Amino acid sequence: MKIELIPLLQDNYAYLLIDGSGTVAVIDPSEAAPVQDLLESRGLTLDMIINTHHHGDHTGGNAALKKAYGCKVYAPEADAYRISTLDSGLKDGDTLNLGQSSAQVFATPGHTNGHICLYFAEDKALFCGDTLFGLGCGRLFEGTPEQMWESLSKIMALPDDTDIYCGHEYTLENGTFCLDIDPDNTDLQQRMADVRSAREQNLPTIPFTLALEKKTSPFLRAGSAERFAEIRCLRDAV
Ligand SMILES: [Zn+2]
């Protein structure tokens, strides 16, 4: 499966997935036009839209893309009442087939109640929307710290060489906060040097591996829901 990043809006990423059989999906299209432009430049059409959660900066392009390509929208079943374009609901434990590729669906409540992540085991790729970010995690708009910690723990249980594809380019901003929390972490210092250099060249910091995230993110290194809640609170106050 081929994965392409599509920068959208201010700092969002959508992802174009092109399966070996020619099936094409887009994850979290905040807007339609740049996705259509990319598809046209590749001579592709769109078969599937997948949303990780209901927020407008992840679903804003659904309607126009659906109209242009007649594709189906797969989104959290729990968000059916607030994603009007939804065709097929996804829930924890489901398998979503994309041509010859397939993804496991995990429920990861915290940022929103219905949030899901998609894990392509064969491709070692996790699409986690606004659950986990580079050196951070999503704000708790709907869930509790305990729920988010449980969701992050599910992600931490995946293989270390999993590539993480998240919904926003927040790594540099998040990392500045992380250095305040964990100033002596040499892995974090090294990562931040790499992140600064990438951003200076306008390059994405995504994907990153789960192994790197586990070594460098105070959110994943919290060790308990209580400590995680403290760090999330401190981050909110920045
Ligand atoms: Zn969101």
User: Does residue 124 belong to any structural domain of this protein?
Assistant: yes
Q: What is the pLDDT of residues 80-135, one digit of tens each?
A: 999 999 999 999 999 999 999 999 999 999 999 999 999 999 999 999 999 999 99
User: Does residue 109 belong to any structural domain of this protein?
Assistant: yes
User: Does residue 9 belong to any structural domain of this protein?
Assistant: yes
User: Does residue 193 belong to any structural domain of this protein?
Assistant: no
Give the pLDDT of residue 12: 97
User: Does residue 104 belong to any structural domain of this protein?
Assistant: yes
DSSP 8-state symbol, 101: E
Which stretches of the chain score pLDDT less than 70? none
Give the pLDDT of residue 57: 98
Ligand 1 centroid – CA 167 distance (Å): 8
Q: Is position 115 annotated as part of the catalytic site? A: no
- What residues contact 43, with CB distance under 8 A and at least 6 apart? none
CATH code at position 9: 3.60.15.10
Ligand 1 centroid – CA 107 distance (Å): 15
Tally of domains in the chain: 1
Please give the residue range of the domain that contains residue 103. Answer: 2-169
Ligand 1 centroid – CA 56 distance (Å): 8
Q: Is 156 helix (H, G, I), strand (E, B) or coil?
A: helix
Ligand 1 centroid – CA 146 distance (Å): 18
Residue among 19, 28, 111, 115 flagged as catalytic: 111
| Cα–Cα distance, 131 to 81 (Å, whole number) | 21
Give the pLDDT of residue 19: 96
Residue among 28, 55, 79, 115 flagged as catalytic: 55
Q: Which residues fall inside 5 Å of ion ligand 1, going by CB? A: 55, 130
Can you give the pTM of this predicted structure?
A: 0.97
User: Does residue 178 belong to any structural domain of this protein?
Assistant: no
Ligand 1 centroid – CA 36 distance (Å): 22
Ligand 1 centroid – CA 112 distance (Å): 7
| Cα–Cα distance, 106 to 126 (Å, whole number) | 10
| Cα–Cα distance, 107 to 194 (Å, whole number) | 32
| Cα–Cα distance, 231 to 233 (Å, whole number) | 5
Give the pLDDT of residue 136: 98
Give the pLDDT of residue 238: 86
Residue among 19, 28, 47, 53 flagged as catalytic: 53
User: Does residue 218 belong to any structural domain of this protein?
Assistant: no
User: Does residue 192 belong to any structural domain of this protein?
Assistant: no
Residue among 19, 28, 115, 168 flagged as catalytic: 168
Q: Is position 130 annotated as part of the catalytic site? A: yes
Please, is 95 exposed, middle or buried when counting C-beta atoms within 10 Å of its C-beta (0-12, 13-18, 19+)?
exposed
